[in-house]
Amino acid sequence: MSLFLIYALAAVGLFAICLHAIITRSHLLRKILALNMMGSSVFLLLIAIAYRNSVEETADPVPHAMVLTGIVVAVSATAFALALARRYHAETGETELSDGDGST
Amino acid sequence: MDNRDPLSNPGYLVRILSMVLSAGLLAVLIAAVVDLGDEPTGLTARVMEQIDQSGVSHPPTAVLLNFRAYDTWLEVAVLLLAAWGALALRQATRLPEQPQATSAGPVLDWLVRLLVPLLIVTGVYLLWLGTNAPGGAFQAGAVIGAALVLLRLSGYRSVGLLDALWLRGSLLAGFAGFLLIATVLFLAGWTFLEYPPDQAGLLIVIIELLITWTVAVSFVALFVAARPDPDDLNTESEGGHG
């Protein structure tokens, strides 16, 4: 098993766990954290691909660049989600989205 | 964990369905990743071929600000939307200063005076480094943003000094600067978001400077907008905004 495959499999495993968490966890903070971790798993995969595609010690700059900006975008999207959650909490006093019928 | 109210728990059916969905997706993704194999297939060689025309010598910077400038431009737009959205949620047009409860104390005071100049120098260094080594606008923006957050937390005046116009201008700078340069070059006969190889280095540094400031101010705006007490921001902005 190559180094690329180890990291890539870890990334897809993390992605699947986070998807499960987003669906089943009802607390907004847990959902936001799961979404953030989901993004991190994609970064892990992109870095693994950059490593796989490296030519003479130079990692593939295309996925590399995507991760660089992606991290900043993920931080700001998470912060925006947290601001939304805070506002929701201030308006309703709830930390969970109302489901209407008691399920997702 | 969530059993204070059994009715709000997703039922077992949802859990099982979610597990099946996640496991199914996992199987597909594993197959996809294994199918990718170990052979390099990326664009490394093509980037290295063209890098002399990009105006910078660090491959990721060349990709970010030249070859895939379109992606970066729109990522700056996402950043702008997130920061603007967070401010809109608080109905704020400017960032109020942290009300200084007590004296910061000599140790914190000394540390802030030591760290903030160091962080700013590090940020500018990272920005400059981006043209030929790992570094660049996003990293520099994050470091300078951290310096601004530190200033805020320890009760110094910083981003609260920006009035509504300057705050919006700062959030817009990266996106607008990118667009302006691309438009001017487009009217001069180049493809949209393509730079003349001779001036590419200078243009990239100008865009990176603007992005750095935008990233730094956006981080502080998001940090402030996610602050625990929602009411004080509204009352403070009501004075000028109504």
pLDDT tens-digit map of B176-215: 999 999 999 999 888 888 888 888 888 888 999 999 999 9
Closest partner CB to A20 (pick from B19, B32, B78): B19
Which of B9, B70, B78 to substitute to test the interface with A, most A CBs within 10 Å?
Answer: B78
Note every long-range contact of B113-120, with CB atoms under 8 Å and residues 24 or more positions apart, other chains counting. B115/B147, B115/B150, B116/B147, B116/B150, B116/B151, B119/B143, B119/B144, B119/B146, B119/B147, B119/B150, B120/B144, B120/B147
Phi, psi (degrees; rounded to nearest 5) at B226: -95, 15
Q: What is the pLDDT of residues A30-71, one digit of tens each?
A: 999 999 999 999 999 999 999 888 877 778 888 888 898 888
Q: Report ipTM (2 d.p.).
A: 0.83
CATH class belonging to A3-92: mainly alpha
The reported pLDDT for the residue numbered A100 is 62
The reported pLDDT for the residue numbered B161 is 76
* Average pLDDT of chain B to the nearest whole number: 82
Alpha carbon of B107: minimum distance to chain A alpha carbons (Å)? 30
Assigned token pair, A21? 């968490």
Closest partner CB to B226 (pick from A25, A63, A82): A82
Residue type, B42: G
CB B171 within 8 A of CB B221: yes
Residue B164 binned pLDDT confidence (cut-offs 50, 70, 90): confident
Tell me the domain boundaries of chain A. Answer: 3-92
CA distance B239 to B112: 30
